[in-house]
């Protein structure tokens, strides 16, 4: 489908066009089963990095909630809430909110690096031009490709979720056929297993309490 417009204003397009990069050729991706939509289970299991208080049209190399920092390969521009600065977004069940604050990428490839491994990571994405474009998110742990998600996303109110679970990751490489914006960056930290010694101590304490109650 040919692009017939853009989510970005003319001013924002002019600011970003000079930095547009090409999608790397020959990149091989793998099949994946993404978390398709931000349903109640996904929202309950994850924490959102809130960007509400960042100034409109400000540029950022990273975002953080004090627990997790996401650093971007290129500075992103905070816009919104939609339609302020970014014209459209999708609505539930395909997105969390039809009027989110967004982070606009000046290029069609962006690498978010995470300050620590997480077990769930996701974000919503929409291309700037109106039209359908292929996008891929490669999720890595170190240099190992853990999972690759590919979706066709419409720039006209067609934002979609790119998210995964079941396995730690600490980097995502996102690329597609046009510049884009992301929103609703969410994560779940690694759930640490109970230490064996701590578990044994808990069992001993419980047994001791039961013995005292019996006596």
183: tokens are 């929103």
**Of the ranges 10-14, 26-30, 146-150, which one carries the lowest mean pLDDT score?**
26-30
With residue 16 as reference, give the H or E element that holds it.
Answer: helix 10-17
51: tokens are 């960007």
Domains observed in the chain: 10-214 (2.60.120)
pLDDT of 17-58, one tens digit each? Answer: 544 433 333 333 344 457 999 999 999 999 999 999 999 999
How far is it, in rounded angstroms, from Cα 174 to Cα 41? Answer: 24
Q: Which residue has the tokens 């790119």?
A: 162
pLDDT of 151-161, one tens digit each? Answer: 999 999 999 99
What is the pLDDT, as a whole number, of residue 5?
83
């Amino acid at each position: 489908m040919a692009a017939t417009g853009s989510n970005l204003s003319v001013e924002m397009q002019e600011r970003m066009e000079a930095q547009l990069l090409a999608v790397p050729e020959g990149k091989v991706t793998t099949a994946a089963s993404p978390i398709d939509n931000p349903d109640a289970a996904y929202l309950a299991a994850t924490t959102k990095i809130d960007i509400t208080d960042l100034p409109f049209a400000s540029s950022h190399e990273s975002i953080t909630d004090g627990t997790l920092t996401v650093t971007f390969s290129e500075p992103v521009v905070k816009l919104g809430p939609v339609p302020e600065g970014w014209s459209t977004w999708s609505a539930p069940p395909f997105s969390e909110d039809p009027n989110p604050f967004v982070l606009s990428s000046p290029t069609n490839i962006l690498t978010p690096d995470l300050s620590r491994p997480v077990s769930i990571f996701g974000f919503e994405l929409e291309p700037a031009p109106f039209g359908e474009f292929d996008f891929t998110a490669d999720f890595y742990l170190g240099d190992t490709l853990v999972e690759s998600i590919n979706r066709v996303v419409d720039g006209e109110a067609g934002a979609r979720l790119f998210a995964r679970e079941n396995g730690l990751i600490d980097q995502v490489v996102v690329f597609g056929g046009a510049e884009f914006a992301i929103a609703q960056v969410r994560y779940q930290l690694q759930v640490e297993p109970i230490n064996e010694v701590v578990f044994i101590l808990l069992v001993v304490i419980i047994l001791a309490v039961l013995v005292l109650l019996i006596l």
